[in-house]
Amino acid sequence: MADDQAATPLVEAVGVTKRYGETVALDRAGIRVMPGQTHALVGRNGAGKSTLVSILTGLQAPDEGEVRFGGEPAPRLADRDAWRQRVACVYQKSTIIPELTVAENLYLHRHDLNRLGLVRWGALRRKATELLAGWSVDVDVRLPAGELDVEQRQFVEITRALSFGARFIILDEPTAQLDAAAIARLFTRIRALQEQGVTFLFISHHLQEIYEICDTVTVFRDARHILTTTVADLPHAELVAAMAGEAAGLAEGPSRTAVTRGPGVVLDVRGLSYGDAYREIGFRIQTGEIVGLAGAAGSGRTELAETVAGLRAADSGTVEVAGRVPRPGSVPDALAAGVGFVPRDRHHQGFVPMMSIADNATMTVPDRLGEAGLISGRRRDRLARALIDNLAIKTPGPGLPVMGLSGGNQQKVVMARALASDPRLLVLITPTAGVDVKSKEFLLGKVEETAAGGTGVLIASDELDDLRLCDRLLVMFQGRVVAELAAGWHDHDVVAAMEGVRLDA
Amino acid sequence: MPEQTLTPATETATSGRERPRVRLARLRDFALIPAIIAIAVVGQIVNPIFLQGDNLINILQTMSEISLLVLAQTIVLVAGKMDLSLESTFGLAPGVAAWLTVAAGSGAGLGLLPGAWSIPITLAVGVLIGAINALLIVRFGLNGFIVTLGMLIVLRGLLTGISGGQTFFNLPASMLYLGSALWLGVPASIWLCLLLFAGGVVLLGFTKYGRALYAIGGNVDAAKAAGIRTDRVLWTALVGAGVLAALGGLMMSGHLASVAAAQGDGAIFTVFAAAVIGGVGLNGGKGTVFGAFTGILLLYMIQNVLTLAGVPAQWIQALNGTIIIVALVLSRLTGGKVQD
């Protein structure tokens, strides 16, 4: 990478400052992306990544500083076509139109027209098919785009960006909603495109991915540029230190030593089966025990955890929570039995975005907020304030809509909701998805703290960091528990079991 | 030739699992055709008059005016908005024209303008109402449902006000023409209705403008990002809807040779029912003009069959409501998706 210094950077932002009223979102920050690189941009929530992305994609103008593409100054903001030819961003939130076909999404507002000004659908579909085939994306262009899964949708969006002529693509947390196999396919694709001359700016909270796929990494912290270096030269701990501003690592060794495990059983699952998702599952969780349910997406771990939480009713078998069998498929009954639940997708099942933190956090415990079905605002806010303090949610007060919080703080609200009922059993599904390093550490610490208080915990995830604090790990593969590992397991054993590979064979 | 070399590639790129879904998506447009055929058969059994030319013309004539409201509503719904005020525009636009052109002395007419002005006035009122809706919804970002609900009441009140609650008679000849003329032996309003629907199919299915409507209704941010001037498209959609409603009202007045203060009152429910039965989504981005046409056609055929079967007129409304709900249940059972 040393000779890169001589070349012209493909994209360069120099001394960029952006203020929103009082807050400084970017403070004389910059980035240089060399052609053909896969460049990682990391930083905790609020570090200024999103602001930089919106400036690099021409959605906002910087207050100071400038953006250059291949040495040339950036086009005017109004010249959308010029921007589209230079840069594209694939956001976490989809920018496709679900009701329209893949073909039309690819060529939206630049349809092929015939002499009468009418759309030539046949030609459009052919062009779209060729385009996708050209970048070897295997998707039927006639499908409504809403039927694509996240992975296909990303490929379609990347291809659309390439079709405008852009050879610089920003991927904003592309792996957040993908399982391990899909991430592997995405990376294969990124490498292939890199060889074809496409440059990527890769934004991710998963540091391991950056080591896997990126050449160069830029770290932002508190609106400033901290460092840019080749990934190979930067040890894990130093990267975390650069992001956190202190030498605090998450990954280094399990901190959990003393297991305060009591004699009682908080969860007893016997002979549980549910359609094709999982079969004949049985296990127990004792008071104060943390049990991990590892497995890739599609392994049945999510469905199993949702069954325990009462979202699904199993076809056969029983779930017993603290000596009581809640009615299968009834969330209120599971709640009453003492189950606290952090669902899989916080945007979907975790909170109501327009409602306040107080309303969201206390949603599971209306009975404690007042008599005879009435809710006392004062009592609710008192409880909410306690939860906000307990989970260190960054907010001016309990009345703020959850919508306005960062991802990490939103997930803390979901956790607060699960903890509000003082559960005997806490069920968590991918509890740290799309959350920054610091919040992740905090949330997992809170899980340990809860377990220390005698609550049994079940964590369903494929994220090794989530599972590290478990006393015991059940690994699921294709609907069955294929391995049970005690604390102190090696990463490769777990990954191998989740992928259905036997290392000892 | 490129077509032929490409076909096999497409075949292999498509996994077997996805094929039927594509077909199903296409067939959605024709979902009501079996129902229409079934009703035709039932109608013929109930009363052999049903399939005779005169009766078919009668059905089309009865639905022609209100079907323009369905067309207008479909355009607005596809773009992700709603226009409840269409039914009042349907009455007020020809009402204003009659008010200004009908000779003073007979009813509430002012006789300020010659009769030839009636059609331009009607259409201009449609434009004006559409523009007010657009101003409030697009420019000021108000909720379309509430704005047009307010407009529905205001416009109805205006018509009652200018007419004094009376019906305008003695309309100028130009106002009567579209509702009463025959072209090639078939009422002009049927021709107009069919032509406008054909135009609507082309507009929404095959023009950049039409596809922009779908894009805006489906995901307005994505539409903006694709370079669509979303505000301008919405303005024209709402103004166009106003004009279509005014035209429908004009045809109705010509047909009845009068403008009643209650013209169009309550029609919006039938309009929504026809659109939704025809597969137009209330949340935007979904449905076609052809589907909407089959929706209104089905409703009017059923009504006609009920009349021919001798069902008392007092019961038809209750049956209509039932039909709408049954149709929705059926489309939920066959389409499988939750309607919202």
Rounded CA-CA distance B282/B84 in Å is: 12
Q: What 8-state DSSP symbol labels residue B144? A: H
Residues 6+ apart with CB under 8 A from B117: B97, B100, B101
Q: How many CA atoms lie within 13 A of A499 on its CB side?
A: 14
% of chain A residues with pLDDT over 70: 92
User: In whole angstroms, what is the distance from residue B135 CA to residue B207 CA?
Assistant: 25
Q: What is the pLDDT of residue B10?
A: 35
Opening angle at CA A346, ends A342 and A352, nearest 5: 105
Report which of A204, A107, A214 is spatially closest to residue A156, judged by C-alpha positions: A107
| CA distances to A314, A315, A427 from A280, in Å | 11, 10, 20
- Using an 8 Å CB-CB cutoff, list chain A residues near B225: 95
Q: Give the model's pLDDT for residue B27.
A: 63
Does B226 sit within 8 Å of A108, measured CB to CB?
yes
- Cβ pair B226:A109 closer than 8 A: yes
- As a whole number, the mean pLDDT across chain A is 83
The DSSP secondary-structure symbol of B113 reads S
Which residue, chain included where needed, has tokens 């478990």? A470
Please compute, for residue B98, the number of CA atoms within 13 A of its CA located in the half-sphere on the CB side. 33
Nearest residue of B to residue A136 by CA position? B13
- Residue A198 has what DSSP assignment? -
Count of CA atoms in the C-beta half-sphere (13 A) of A259:
19
pLDDT above 70: residue A111: yes
- In the prediction, which pLDDT does A46 show? 66
Query: Which pLDDT belongs to residue A464?
Result: 79
Determine the residue type at A406.
S
| Alpha carbon of A129: minimum distance to chain B alpha carbons (Å) | 7
Say if residue A231's pLDDT is above 60.
Answer: yes
- pLDDT (tens digit, 9 = 90+) per residue, A425-438? 999 998 888 787 78
- B2 touching A (Cβ < 8 Å): yes
Is A213 in CB contact (< 8 Å) with chain B? no
Interstrand relation of A265-274 and A199-203 (parallel, antiparallel or unpaired): unpaired
Banded model confidence at residue A502, pLDDT cuts 50, 70, 90: low
DSSP 3-state of A19 = strand
* pLDDT, tens digit only, all 340 positions of chain B: 333 333 333 333 334 344 444 455 556 677 788 888 888 998 999 888 888 889 999 999 999 999 999 999 999 999 999 999 999 999 999 999 999 998 877 677 788 888 889 999 999 999 999 999 999 999 998 999 999 999 999 999 999 999 988 899 888 889 998 888 889 989 999 999 999 999 999 999 888 899 999 999 988 888 887 888 899 999 999 999 999 999 999 999 999 999 999 999 989 988 998 998 888 888 888 889 999 999 999 989 988 888 888 888 888 778 878 877 887 777 667 654 555 5
Q: Which residue has the higher pLDDT, A177 or A401?
A: A401
What's the pLDDT tens digit per position in A235-256?
877 777 777 665 444 444 444 5
Tokens of B273: 């029912």
Burial B311-336 (b: 16+ CB within 10 A, else e): eeeeeeeeebeebbeebeeebeeeee
ipTM over 0.85: no
Q: What does the DSSP assignment read for A23-87?
A: EEEEEEEEEEE-TT-EEEEE--TTSSHHHHHHHHTTSS--SEEEEEETTEEPPPTT-HHHHHHH-
Give the largest CA-CA distance in chain B.
77
Who has greater pLDDT, A205 or A196? A196
* Contacting A residues, span 98-117, partner chain B, CB-CB under 8 Å: 98-100, 104, 108-111, 113, 117
A6 has pLDDT over 80 = no
pLDDT (tens digit per residue) in A360-399: 888 888 777 777 777 778 888 888 888 888 888 888 888 8
Contact A180, A99 (CB under 8 A): no
Q: DSSP readout, A393-457?
A: ---S-TTSBGGGS-HHHHHHHHHHHHHTT--SEEEEESTTTT--HHHHHHHHHHHHHHHHTT-EE
A45-82: per-residue pLDDT in tens?
Answer: 667 888 898 888 888 888 999 899 888 888 888 787 88
Q: Which helix (H) or strand (E) holds A272?
A: strand A265-274
pLDDT for position B3: 37
Q: What is the pLDDT of residue A374?
A: 75
Q: Tell me the whole-structure pTM to 2 decimals.
A: 0.71
Flag whether pLDDT at A2 surpasses 50. no
A388, A395 Cβ separation under 8 angstroms: yes
Instruction: Indicate if A265-498 has the same CATH topology as A2-96+148-244.
Output: yes
Percent above pLDDT 90 for chain A: 6
Measured between alpha carbons, how far is B66 from B46 in angstroms, rounded to an integer?
A: 26
Q: Which of A108, A121, A138 is opposite residue B215, by nearest beta carbon?
A: A108
* Helix H or strand E segment including B150: helix B144-163
**CATH dotted code for A2-96+148-244:** 3.40.50.300
Q: What is the per-residue pLDDT across A303-325, written as a single tens digit (0 to 9) for each?
A: 899 999 888 888 888 899 888 88
DSSP category for residue A3: G
Chain B residues with CB under 8 Å of A140 CB are: 10, 13-15, 18, 22
**B338 and chain A in contact, CB less than 8 A:** no
Distance from C-alpha of A74 to C-alpha of A58, rounded to nearest angstrom: 8
Instruction: Tell me how long chain B is.
Output: 340
Q: Does B37 touch chain A (CB under 8 A)?
A: no
Please determine, looking at this structure, whether the domain spanning A265-498 carries the CATH number 1.10.10.10. Answer: no
Question: Could you tell me how many CB contacts below 8 A there are between chain A and chain B?
Answer: 89
CA dist., res. A461 & res. B74, Å (int): 45
DSSP letter at A322?
A: T
Amino acid B216: pLDDT: 92
Report how far residue A230's alpha carbon sits from residue A223's, in angstroms, rounded to the nearest whole number.
21
3-state class (DSSP) for residue A384: helix
Interface check for B211 against chain A (CB to CB < 8 A): the answer is yes
Nearest Cα to Cα of residue A437 among A216, A226, A175, A241: A241
pLDDT at A1: 44
A138 contact B CB<8A: yes
Q: So what CATH class is B31-334?
A: mainly alpha
Report the C-alpha gap between A10 and A13 in whole angstroms. Answer: 10
Domain-by-domain residue ranges, chain A?
2-96+148-244, 265-498
Q: What are the pLDDT digits (tens) for A71-110?
A: 888 888 878 788 888 888 888 777 888 888 899 998 888 8
pLDDT computed for residue B11 by the predictor: 35
The pLDDT assigned to B5 comes to 35
Which has the closest alpha carbon to A463: A411, A403, A390? Answer: A411
Tally of CB atoms within 10 A around A449: 12
Q: Give the ranges where A464-505 is alpha helix by DSSP (H).
A: 464-467, 491-498
Contact B22 A138 (CB under 8 A): no
The Cα of A156 is separated from the nearest Cα of chain B by a number of Å equal to 14
- List the single best residue of B18, B207, B211 to mutate versus A (max A Cβ within 10 A): B211
- The domain locations on chain B are 31-334
